[in-house]
Structure formats: structure tokens, C-alpha cells
Structure 1
């Protein structure tokens, strides 16, 4: 198997990428992936993975993991062991609920969950206190948990293209969100293309500072 040969070659490396070009798309990962004990960066994007082997949880030195553009609906609980992980990309999958293991990745500063099937974020999100970038655009979020407002290190929060009608009263606590952002890479709050109700919709026309002042006033 070509992938097995590749794994043997990188057994002592610290960065691995499996993308479909020029190789065929992967439909599975061998459990031997867990033998890459020194691995720090792993990209397995644009493949056809429907599940991740629990052995990946043995790669405890991982700091960057991209599983974007696959067909994943969940992650194994063993990934809770990836406590050094700082960047996790799960975008463009079939995830309806944030996998429980993610909430144990308390070193995360970047979490990308765009274009999945999320309808809500659990209160457990408050465990990710180091998060600076959270991207959940292109889902079906109906509301935001109050616990989200505990993530005071957030500098970029992308909520575009959801079903959000209101925002939590304590959202103003996310003081590092400096502005309403438009460009995908801009820091700030992204919240366009949501069916926001009055008065929040009108207040936002005055910018993020106007919204935060309104929320503070209660």
C-alpha cells in the first residue's frame, strides 16, 4: 500500500501531508498512523475519509491537524490526548455536533468548523480559553451559547451564513473583537447573512462598538 510506504519514510519526521494530488484520494487511514510519535503537523485534507482511527490519539506531539474537506461526522474520543494541539481544521465535513474530544484540546488557538452541519455550540466551548480564532460560518447555527462569551482571547469570530437571530447579552466581553469584519481573513466579528432580529440588526448598522454599547446597557 502506497500510504504504508509513505508512513515508513516519515516515521521520524515532524510534518506529513496527504492531499489527493498527484495521489488518489484516501478513503481510510491505517492504524499505523499512531506510530508517528514525534509528528507535529499533519494535513489530511481533500480526501474521502469517513472516520479517523483511534490510534491517531497516540500522536501526542501534534500541534497542527487539518482534516478539512473529507466526509467526517465524528472524531474518536482518543483525540482528547492531543493536548498540545494548537490549530485544528475540520471545515467542509459532515459534523453535526462538535466532537467531545475537541473540548479537551485546551491549547487550541485556532478552530475551523466552517461548512459543516452544526446547529448549536455546546456550553463546553468555554473550556477552550486560549482560542483566538473561531470559524463556524456556513453552518445552521440557530443561537450562540452564553459560554462563548468566556472566550475573551478571541480576535476573530466568524459566524457568517448561519441562522442566528440574536446574540448573547455578554458578547461585549469579547473585547478583542475590534470591528465588524468583511474580508474572510480580517480580525473581528463576522456576522453577515444571518436573519438577525430587531433591534440587534439595526444597532449593528452603527458598527461593533454600537452593538457592544447596546449590550452593556442591558
Structure 2
């Protein structure tokens, strides 16, 4: 009995000491965070960065937007060891330094409104990255393996570029919630989208004459709430879209749709879902190929063969005036959305 009491006292003592150590660590982290600095050099018409008079490792947020920078020195980036937010939008950058991969704590990177044609492969080392904004550049491709490395990314915005394809590894971005790839030259989307279990918003609109199909796996995006595929060359929506239970907003205007026909589309989103669901069920009866997809849809819990819907669901169709995805540029209004207007310091850092 005495031995058990001694053991219990020892365990209590160990727990107490562990709590004290944790409090000390929290205190040290708090002191370290207080030492970190926010540096704002935005809108100063800088052609080059001045020699820093401060400790670069002490910067947690660096704002260089709205300048005339043509490059960022490798040596400078490599020393930003504690930077969490890096904003260089609306400059004249043609590339990013390879040392960007040293930023292991980087969570938000805004490089929009530049002249960047390719992202360095080293960006894959920024494994804490949660938001990448590369809108309004000249990107023709993304690193092939980007989806295998940036597993914490929640928002990927690459609209208004020259992308012809998204790498197949994109389908491995399991934390991704928003994917904005409108206004590109996309020919297709990755086939295996089912791993994007947290994707809520998908915008692939305005790829105009290039995008002709959507992958069948789009029906396995169990968290999808908004889908904008307007102004493309899509003639047939995948039957599997009838299984998107959480879908609330759908925009498919500006496509030469045959299936579903426009008279169904005009009835609203739920009518589209019912049409596609019935079509999928019919195809399942006579097509062995479709049976494997039905099995997947059933396993994912998206398909049960019922078509019951509330009035709210029936009215959830996205009309042509829907603008929930910020900065949407239609053919009529694309000139209104310049990089400087969209990505001003006031707008960006007030979010």
C-alpha cells in the first residue's frame, strides 16, 4: 500500500513539473512573438529593396506590395526565417527566388499582379503555407508535385493566368477549401478529385473555348458548396453532379449545354441535380463502366437514389448576377478588375 502511495505521489509530481515546463515554454513563445515585427514598405515606388537596418529574422509580416520591384534578392528571402505573411503583389516581378523554400513558417503568400511565368519548385518546401494568391500573372504551369507537398494549403488562387492544365497532384490537396482557376486556358481538370474532401468552392469559369468537360469524379466532392463553370465550352455535365448533396450555388451559363438541356437548367439547381441523378441511374443499369462510379458514390455517401428536396434547395441555383467569389471578372466587366484595384493594401490586410 505504501509503495502504491509513493508511486501516486511521484506521478502527481511529474505531472506538476510537466505543467510548469509547458507554462515556461508558452511564456518563451509569447516573448518571442512580441519581439517579431511587421514591416510595411508598400506603395513607395521602390525599384529595389533598401539595405535592411533591422534583423530580418525578427519579421513576421513583410508588405512590399504596389512598388516597382523586378526581383527579390535570394539572400534577403533566405533570412526571413520567421515570416508568416509575405505580400509582394502589384510589382514587376518575373520570378521568385529559389530561397523562398527557406520560409518554413510562411502561411500566406500573395504574389498577384506580377509578371511571373513559373513558380520555383522550392516553393514546395513552404509546408506551412495555407493561402497562395498568384492571380494576374503569366503562369503557364504549376510545379508537378505541388499537391504532394503543400498539404496545409486551404486557398489556391491562380486566376487570370495562362494555365493549360492543373497538375494531377492537385487532387492530393486534402486541406484545400477554395480553388479559383478562372480566366485561364484550362483544357481539363485532374481526373481524380475525390481526395479534395474539404473543397467548398470551385471556380473554373471563363476558360472560354478551352474547357469542354468536367471530370466524373466531381460527384465525389462531398463538401462542395459552390461550383462556377460558366463561360466554357461544356456540352455535358457529368451525371455524378446529381450526387452533390451540399451544393448550394451552381453557375453554368455561357456554355453550349446539351445535357442537361437549357430548359432544365432554367428551372434551377435542384432540377439539374434530379435530371443528372436520373440519367446516372439509367446509365448504371446498362453500362458496366459506370457501375464502379456508382459504387464509389454510394461508399462516399453521396448517392442514395432519392430526389427529395426542400424549397430552399430548389431555389439554390446560381443566377447570372451571383458574385460571391470576390473579384469575379465577367467578359463585360473584366476591365474593372485591375490588379492594383483588386489587391490594394487596404483591401488585403483588412480581411
TM-score range, shorter chain: 0.7 to 0.9
Deviation track 1:38-93 (CA, whole Å, cap 9, x = no partner) reads: 00111111101111111111111001111111111112235231111111011111
Which aligned pairs between 1:97-116 and structure 2 lie closer than 5 A? 97-116=165-184
Supply the distance in 2 between the matched residues of 1:76 and 1:198 (Cα, whole angstroms): 34
* Separation in structure 2 between the aligned mates of residue 175 and residue 67 of structure 1, nearest angstrom: 31
**Structure 2 Cα separation of the partners of residues 108 and 76 of structure 1:** 17
1:203 partner SS: helix
Match of 2:158 among 90, 93, 105: 90
CA distance in 2, matches of 1:12, 1:198: 52
User: Which of 227, 236, 240 pairs up with 1:166?
Assistant: 236
* Aligned twin of 2:258: 197
* CA deviation after TM superposition for structure 1 residue 161, in Å: 0.6
Is 1:67–1:89's contact at 8 Å kept on the other side of the alignment? yes
Runs (5+) with no aligned partner, structure 1:
179-187
- 1:40 corresponds in structure 2 to 107
Residue 209 (str. 1) matches residue 248 (str. 2): no
Name 1:182's counterpart in structure 2: none
1:185 paired residue number: none
Q: Which residue of 1 aligns with 2:120?
A: 53
Greater C-alpha Rg: 2
Local SS of the residue matching 2:194: helix
2:194 to 122, 126, 130: 126
Residue 142 of structure 1: which of 212, 219, 243 is its match? 212
Secondary structure in 2 matching 1:134: strand
1:30 aligned onto 2:97:
yes
SS at match of 2:109: strand
C-alpha distance after superposition, 1:169-188 (max 9, x if no partner): 1211112122xxxxxxxxx0
Q: Deviations over 1:129-179 (max 9, x none)?
A: 21100000011211221111110210010001101111111211112122x
Farther off after superposition, 11-20 or 36-45: 11-20
Three-state SS of the structure 1 residue aligned to 2:100 is: helix
1:10 deviates by 4.0
- Aligned counterpart for 1:75 among listed residues 142, 148, 152: 142
The alignment of Structure 1 onto Structure 2 pairs a total of residues equal to: 206
Question: Normalising by structure 2, what TM-score?
Answer: 0.56
Report the structure, 1 or 2, having the larger helix content: 2
TM (norm. structure 1) is: 0.88
1:62 to 104, 129, 132: 129
Secondary structure in structure 2 of the residue aligned to 1:138: coil
Where does structure 1 differ by over 6 angstroms across 4 or more consecutive aligned residues? none
Worse-matched range after superposition: 207-216 or 161-170: 207-216
Equivalent residue, structure 2, for 1:184: none
How many angstroms apart in 2 are the aligned matches of 1:77 and 1:119? 16
